[in-house]
Chains A and B, each alone.
Chain A
Amino acid sequence: MTCAQAHDRLAELAPLAGDDALPQDLARHLQSCERCREHLHASRLMWDELAHWPEQEMPAELVRTVATRARAEAKTADSPLAIALVFGLVAALVSAFVISSRVSLDHVPPLGLVGVGAVWTVLYSGLFFLFRLAKEHQRAVFFLTRAVLVAGGMFLLLSYLSPVPASITFCSRYYVTQPLLDRISIAATYFLFGGVYAGLPMAIAAYVTPGPLRENTAMQGTLAGGMFALLLTPGIIMQCAPFAFGVLIGWFAGALLGSVLGGMLGFWLRARIA
């Protein structure tokens, strides 16, 4: 055995290995080579020298802080429903604010607004509760609810940038789309736009939120789309107040169909391409 080989072998065993643990060929080399023996001895001394780095006591303040925060965290963890309700309330308020900042809600009575807000809070809370509950044990449900929540955020963004009524008004005056919209009823127009405004966010959300969902994309799309359409309902009701009942039905039907088809498409593309 050469000195270089001995050093390689020492690196695999040392510095903790005692003389008894050394393989015979290495022990023989060390017996005959003073330099390598000295090298091992010095390395062991260095290893022992490292012990002289005293431990420090944890500051009492740190111990207290961790104990206090551990209790606080435990309390929070014990009340997932309360967290879901807070999230639901905040999400409902943000959604109502976004819609009201772009669409006039003069036609909605105050009590109606409260009712719609309450329904929205319940829907968001339920979704978030399901999302958190399923995180560890029901991964499929977790990924579906996450896609729905992401789609909800995208719908709000889309509604803020260009609300459905404003887009319809624009398209009914634009020379390319005007002939088409002139030929169909107002309810059908809302059906069409409702479908696009729900389908697009759902398809993108289903595509961009990764998960171990490679099969049953039609089922996943239907489930996620159904949940998403339900989540959109309060927003649709709020914006449909000035219109006839048929418009509300048309918009909701479009949103439901668009959500389901968008979800199917997004999950299918995800399974095939991503």
Chain B
Amino acid sequence: MSRTSDSTNNSDSELMQAYVQGDAAAFDALFIRHGGKIYNFLLRETGDPALAQDLTQETWLRVIRAKDRFKPGSRFTSWLYTIVFNLLRDERKRRRRRGGENHISIHEADAVVDENTRPVDESAEQAEMRDAVQVAVSRLPEEQRRVLLLTKYQGLTFAEAGDILGISEAAARQKAWRGIQTLRNVLKGNQ
């Protein structure tokens, strides 16, 4: 993918507006900036690398198709994650129609743990703890999990996460806090 020379200085919203006006390189810049984050979010949310790839691809295609609907000056990440959540909802519906598979996430499976990404100096105990945390996060109630994923891993503020999930900033903070307490209890029980 090509890079615009000044893409690093432009805000997401500016890049999106440039893309709407026909600058294809602005799309590349947005994809470089957010593609990995979206992929990792979907990977953590679904626990299925193939599905995460499909949904990542579909997310960006929807960005292209719906580019004219992006409101100038609005927050690009909110818009982007709204697309992601709509896709996740559609995928869940599609699976439910196919026959009873309600969850598309890792709730009932183990979290994705890629052996290649493990730090070399990580002890067995640390690795075990990390895996336990990942599985525990994946089993949190949907909103708690999403707030944690958005704020802890995607680098969004609680206000942004709340905006995307349709809840207030305070509610997002409370859900994160409850999520943390649930994780503590779950992990305490495992020990």
Binding site for B on A (CB under 8 A): 10-16, 42-43, 46-47, 49-59, 61-63, 65-67, 69-71, 73-74, 77, 136
Residue B83 interfacial (CB < 8 Å): no
Is B167 interfacial (CB 8 A cutoff)? no
Most chain A CB atoms below 10 A, which of B60, B68, B158: B60
Q: Name the residue on B nearest A50 (C-beta).
A: B152
Do B64 and A74 have beta carbons less than 8 Å apart? yes
Given A53-B44, A59-B53, A63-B35, do A73 and B180 touch, yes or no (CB 8 Å)? no
Q: In the bound complex, do residue A11 and residue B173 qualify as a contact, i.e. CB atoms below 8 Å apart? A: yes
User: Footprint of A on B, CB under 8 Å?
Assistant: 1, 24, 27-28, 31, 35-36, 39-40, 43-44, 53, 56-57, 60-61, 64-65, 68-69, 114, 117-119, 126, 129-130, 133-134, 137, 148, 151-153, 158, 170, 173-174, 176-178, 180-181, 183-184, 187
Check A15 against B24 for contact (C-beta < 8 Å). Answer: no
Can you give 16 contacting A-B residue pairs, CB < 8 Å?
A12-B170, A14-B173, A16-B158, A46-B183, A49-B129, A50-B133, A52-B133, A53-B137, A54-B117, A55-B36, A55-B40, A56-B43, A58-B39, A62-B56, A74-B64, A136-B69
Sort A-B residue pairs by CB-CB distance and give the 8 closest, nearest first: A11-B177, A54-B117, A73-B64, A11-B174, A58-B39, A52-B130, A136-B68, A62-B53
> Which one, A11, A13, A51, A56, contacts B40 given CB within 8 A?
A56
Please measure, in the bound complex, the distance between the C-alpha atom of A66 and the C-alpha atom of B35, giving whole angstroms.
Answer: 10
Q: Provide the residues of chain A in CB contact with B28, threshold 8 Å.
A: 67, 70
Q: Is the contact region of chain B dominated by helix, strand, or loop, or is it mixed? A: helix
Residues in A neighbouring B114, C-beta threshold 8 A = 54, 56
Query: Could you tell me the distance between the alpha carbons of A47 and B69 in the complex, rounded to whole angstroms?
Result: 36
Which chain A residues border B61 with CB–CB below 8 Å? Answer: 66, 69-70, 73
A46 touches B57 (CB 8 A): no
Minimum distance in angstroms from B41 CB to a CB of chain A: 10
Kindly list chain A residues whose C-beta atoms are within 8 Å of the C-beta of B36.
55, 57-58
Asked if residues B177 and A66 are in contact (CB atoms below 8 Å), the reply is no
Residues A50 and B148 in contact in the complex (CB < 8 Å), given A62-B57, A136-B68: yes
CA distance A69 to B43 in the complex (A): 21
CA of A14 to CA of B180 in the docked complex: distance in angstroms?
10
Write out the residue numbers on chain A whose beta carbons fall within 8 Å of the beta carbon of B43.
56
Report the minimal beta-carbon distance from A234 to chain B, rounded to whole angstroms.
Answer: 32
Residues of A contacting B39 with CB < 8 Å? Answer: 56, 58, 62
Q: Kindly provide the distance from the CB of B46 to the nearest chain A CB, expressed in whole angstroms.
A: 13
A11 neighbours in B (Cβ, 8 Å): 173-174, 177-178
A14 & B69 in contact (Cβ 8 Å cutoff)? no
| A16: B residues at CB distance < 8 A | 151, 158
Known: A62-B57, A69-B57. 18 other contacts (CB 8 A): A11-B173, A15-B176, A46-B180, A50-B137, A52-B133, A53-B153, A54-B119, A56-B43, A58-B36, A58-B39, A58-B56, A62-B56, A66-B31, A66-B35, A66-B61, A70-B24, A74-B24, A136-B69
